[in-house]
Amino acid sequence: MNYQQIIPFFALIPLAAFGISLLWPKRNERLISTTAFAGAALNLVALLSFLLLWWFDGHRSLDIHESALYRSESYVFMLEFFMDRVTAVFLLLGSLLVFMITVYSRYYLHREPGYKRFFNTILFFFLGFNLTVMAGNYETLFLGWECIGLSSFLLIAFYRDRYLPVRNAVKVFSIYRIGDVGILMAMWASHHLWQENISFARLQDVHFVDQGIALHGAEGLFIAIMLLLAAAVKSAQLPFSSWLPRAMEGPTPSSAIFYGSLSVHLGVFLLLRTYPFWEHQYVMRVLTGVLGALTALFARLIARVQSSVKTQIAYASIAQIGLIFIEIALGMPLLALWHTAGNAFLRTYQLLVSPSVVSYLIREQLFGLPPRRARLERLIPAPLRNTVFVLSLKEWNLDAWMSRLVFHRFKWAGRKLYIGFFWWLAAAVLTVWMILTPAVTPYLRGLGAEVFSGFGLVSALAAFAGRRRARRIWLQAALVPGWVGLALTLNISTQEPGHLLLYWSGVLPAALGGWLLLNQIGRNHALGSLFEYRGLAAVYPRTAVIFLLLCLAMAGFPITPTFIGEDLIFSHIREDQYLLAILNTLSFIFSGIALIRLYARLFLGPQSDADTPRALRSS
């Protein structure tokens, strides 16, 4: 067998282990942990064998077209894998660390109520990570990117009967979705820049890339900035740095593998993977370097004054990733690869031994550890030093600024723009006019598409801002695909109506199923106010899983054909319709956040009728 045929198995092995682990009873810890351990070990052995053969074969770049998930006359959704030194380093890094974490977690989580849930999520994350780093095109990369986002949410909310882990999980998921804006917009613009679904192997062709950018320099810069946005969010760079310490609410092994080593370095991977595309765009290089320098400075200041060891490690890792961004901007991708591997192993080790480190430091303090007397900070004037100390202690209010400038603004817009009956009446009249009037000019048809997408965004923002009625929030989120579909009927040609049907094929059954499920729950529990977490997963564990799957199907997660349909819809947005692309992207993003938040409010957190202590919001 050709050794190149081994590459798809790096995705199939975690997928098979994940599927098998779902079958075991949750009380059988030995079978669950052995399945995860065996999957990680088999993947590591197969990877080491492959890398040995690949190295002696000249370690050339490999482009594997695995299969076409969807094909039409104008569009192909190809599952494609790409192997080069960047992929090799990240694959080896991921396999080694997942293997070690599975061994560590077998004993660390012994008799934990969520033992099976933890290992299932780790294997699902491993699948998403391998898909991301092996991706040969944007579509395959986004497939793994979404899996990592979901597994992050589930692991942060692992202690789902507590307030803070669930709240922070929703917050991290919401910030992750900002990064999805960058990926979606980069995919859309790249499709129009080259008039094809571009593969990363083609980006290695310098002449091909330079020719495309020379003809469309503005589009090239737009793609690069969107990629930088996605990378900054995923790697917790400014101004998105505050999500990383909040993600430490999960178990220590998940904190080590996710936010110390693998997930937090995916922004670096994205920049390295697309480096041949933007290496000659000096505006992008300057922005990347400046962003990394500012992050390294502020994260270092914050790390030095934090009282929690996990928070210190988190901000120290952010500072190092900022330096890696600088190295990439300076044109040193090989150094950035070595730096990434070293930082990942160091932070994993630090997080795994952090409980012991705390006990050692306490003992040293009790037994009279002499403090350091000479410090460089003494040279700074006291007022300035105290100001920086207080601001760093407050993490420079990054979390508060993000909430005020982004999420609170969109919530306000959702509450103000959704005006009930008159809004519905105007939308209905405009819909009938645009569809049934054949004499509409092309300009007005394009304007109508943007108006429909605007209605979709208003529905998404209304669902995002809603807190009072679960069924109303579900209905508002369910209307988003309808508005987006109506908008794209003005762009999709009559020869390709199946593209819209493919998009709706996963959304419509999920919308109906979610509505029926909410009605069923409403018979036994009042689903009025959602200002508090209800914790219904403790009462209806299977229903919670089903509702989560329905929310993911509604949001376009890759479990239904809607995931391919979303990409198809974007392919019908013309290169001059930036507003339409932005409106559709924001609609998808905020409806997804609203659905996950609805799931968290209903099924996660402390039970509303249980006599348990509640954490204050300020904590």
Residues 468-517 pLDDT 10s: 788 888 888 888 888 888 777 776 654 466 777 888 888 888 889 989 98
In a domain, 616, yes or no: no
In a domain, 378, yes or no: no
Shared domain check, 133 and 69: yes
155 Cβ contact list (under 8 Å, min separation 6): 118, 121, 122, 125, 250, 251, 254, 258
Shared domain check, 424 and 336: no
Of 329, 362, 395, the domain-final residue: 362
Shared domain check, 451 and 333: no
Shared domain check, 567 and 494: yes
Shared domain check, 68 and 169: yes
The residue with greater pLDDT, 218 or 45, is 45
Of 315, 333, 362, the domain-final residue: 362
Residues 508-548 pLDDT 10s: 888 899 899 888 888 877 776 777 788 888 888 888 889 99
CA dihedral 114, 117, 122, 127 (to 10 degrees): 180
Choice among 70-79, 147-156, 439-448 with the minimum mean pLDDT: 439-448
Q: Which domain holds residue 471?
A: 418-603
Of 321, 338, 362, the domain-final residue: 362
Summarize the confidence of residues 19-32 as an average pLDDT.
88
Shared domain check, 159 and 305: yes
Long-range pairs, 303-311, Cβ under 8 A, ≥24:
304/392, 305/389, 305/392, 305/393, 306/245, 306/393, 308/245, 309/354, 309/357, 309/358, 310/245, 310/248, 310/255, 310/351, 310/354, 311/245, 311/248
pLDDT class of 617 with cuts at 50, 70, 90: very low
Confidence check: pLDDT of 364 > 60: no
DSSP letter for each residue of 176-187: HHHHHHHHHHHH
In a domain, 410, yes or no: no
In a domain, 130, yes or no: yes
Shared domain check, 308 and 448: no
In a domain, 400, yes or no: no
State residue 504's pLDDT score: 84
Shared domain check, 443 and 335: no
Shared domain check, 229 and 137: yes
Number of domains in the chain: 2
Confidence check: pLDDT of 422 > 60: no
Shared domain check, 438 and 308: no
In a domain, 505, yes or no: yes
In sequence order, what are the beta bridge partners of 199?
137
Confidence check: pLDDT of 323 > 90: yes
Q: Which two tokens stand for residue 141?
A: 């990369």
Confidence check: pLDDT of 146 > 50: yes
In a domain, 581, yes or no: yes
SS3 2: coil
Shared domain check, 335 and 469: no
Residues 249-272 pLDDT 10s: 878 888 888 777 888 899 999 999
Shared domain check, 473 and 347: no
Q: What residue type is assigned to position 187 of the chain?
A: M
In a domain, 89, yes or no: yes
